[in-house]
């Protein structure tokens, strides 16, 4: 088994062409180790979303390669990519993206049913208990707090036993205390199960839960810090112009 869960090698991605072209990623090479929580930070426009999209097989790089485990995404057909995303990747979004008409249990098992797999009741119970919602199985999202809804989304991301969970600003819609609970849960999932999680965030406190923080600026990977405090991360961000918008400049 490969040591990395995800590997990007010289990945470039450009939007538009000619003088107006924007180089969203300009040769990003990085290994994301298995069983770790990695945060991706950078000023607005630095390429974080594009990085996540390319790493998760939702978008295709212009050049370079992306490996998810042993599989190289650029060699896959659209059908294979769809299957890979369903089986090997879990997603958590800022806006939870739950289906209002479905119960907690049905929201969590939706990815399995979409993949035509029967939910394993024991595993479902374990996942829902792990996120602390065992007594809310039959509630609907509207009957839950924001933090509980994000816990449902985390359970939904874990239920397929994915190779990697990608989280895009998972605490962006939560107050500080609830955000801390959700981040604590993600940390615990990584520590207890060896799940690999990659999280895009602009919040140094959120990033301080990570084993490793990658910093993007202008589409390039400019730094990586390990086990850093929120203060250290904040200071590094400040040197990247973290409070202003930093556009990826054309080559
Ligand atoms: P971040 O997530 O760090 O804010 P993005 O990855 O969204 O950065 O964007 C990186 C750069 O690419 C920005 O300059 C952005 O405007 C540009 N960009 C992203 N998506 C598109 C798109 N679909 N079309 C044109 N430009 C885009």
- What per-residue confidence (pLDDT) applies to 118? 86
Ligand 1 proximal residues by C-beta, below 6 Å: 15-16, 22, 24, 42, 44-50, 247-248
Handedness of CA 92, 163, 55, 176 (dihedral sign): positive
pLDDT digits (tens, 9 = 90+) for 190-201: 999 999 999 999
- What per-residue confidence (pLDDT) applies to 244? 42
How distant, in Å, are the alpha carbons of 186, 230, 242 from that of 246? Answer: 29, 21, 8
- What per-residue confidence (pLDDT) applies to 7? 96
Residue 80: φ, ψ to 5°: -65, -40
Choosing from 16, 18, 47 the residue with most ligand 1 atoms within 8 A of its CB, the one to mutate for a pocket test is: 47
- Residue bearing the CA closest to ligand 1, atom 24: 15
Give mean pLDDT in consecutive 10-residue pieces for the chain, a chain of 251 residues.
89 93 96 96 94 94 95 90 90 94 96 87 92 95 96 95 94 93 94 95 96 96 96 93 49 44
Cα of 48 vs centre of ligand 1, distance in Å, is 8
Closest atom, ligand 1, to C-alpha of 50: 6
* Ramachandran assignment for 219, one of left (phi > 0), alpha (psi -120 to 50 degrees), beta (any other): left
- What per-residue confidence (pLDDT) applies to 240? 85
What sections of the chain are H helices per DSSP? 48-55, 78-88, 104-114, 121-130, 146-158, 176-193, 204-207, 230-239
Long-range interactions of 112-121: CB distance < 8 A, separation 24+: 112/159, 112/160, 114/86, 115/86, 115/87, 115/160, 119/159
Which residues pair with residue 91 across a beta bridge? 166
Which three-class secondary structure string do you get for 98-137? CCCCCCHHHHHHHHHHHCCCCCCHHHHHHHHHHCCCHHHC
Supply angle C-alpha 11, 15, 20, rounded to 5. 130
Between CA 169 and CA 156 the distance in angstroms is 17
Cα of 50 vs centre of ligand 1, distance in Å, is 7
Between CA 239 and CA 225 the distance in angstroms is 14
Closest atom, ligand 1, to C-alpha of 248: 14
34-58+77-240: which CATH number, 3.30.420.10, 3.40.190.10, 3.40.718.10, 3.40.50.300?
3.40.50.300
DSSP 75: G
Cα of 194 vs centre of ligand 1, distance in Å, is 31
Cα of 45 vs centre of ligand 1, distance in Å, is 6
Cα of 247 vs centre of ligand 1, distance in Å, is 8
Choosing from 12, 14, 17, 50 the residue with most ligand 1 atoms within 8 A of its CB, the one to mutate for a pocket test is: 50
Cα of 187 vs centre of ligand 1, distance in Å, is 28
């Amino acid at each position: 088994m490969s040591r990395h869960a995800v590997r990007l090698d010289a990945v470039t991605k450009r939007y538009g062409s000619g003088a107006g072209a924007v180089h969203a990623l300009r040769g990003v090479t990085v290994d994301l180790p298995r069983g770790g929580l990695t945060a991706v930070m950078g000023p607005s426009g630095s390429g974080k979303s594009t990085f996540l999209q390319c790493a998760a097989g939702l978008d295709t790089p212009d050049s370079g390669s992306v490996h998810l485990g042993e599989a190289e995404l650029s060699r896959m057909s659209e059908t294979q990519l769809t299957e890979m995303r369903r089986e090997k990747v879990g997603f958590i979004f800022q806006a939870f993206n739950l289906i209002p008409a479905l119960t907690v249990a049905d929201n969590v098992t939706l990815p399995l049913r979409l993949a035509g797999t029967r939910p394993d009741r024991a595993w479902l119970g374990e996942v829902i208990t792990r996120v602390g919602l065992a007594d809310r199985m039959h509630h609907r999202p509207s009957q839950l707090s924001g933090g509980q809804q994000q816990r449902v989304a985390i359970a939904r991301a874990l239920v397929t036993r994915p190779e990697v969970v990608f989280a895009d600003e998972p605490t962006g819609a939560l107050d500080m205390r609830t955000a801390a609970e959700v981040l604590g849960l993600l940390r615990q999932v990584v520590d207890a199960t060896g799940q690999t999680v990659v999280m895009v965030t602009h919040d140094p406190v959120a990033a301080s839960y990570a084993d490793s923080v990658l910093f993007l600026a202008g589409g390039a990977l400019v730094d990586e810090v390990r086990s850093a405090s929120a203060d250290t991360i904040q200071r590094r961000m400040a040197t990247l112009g973290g409070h202003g918008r930093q556009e990826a400049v054309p080559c």
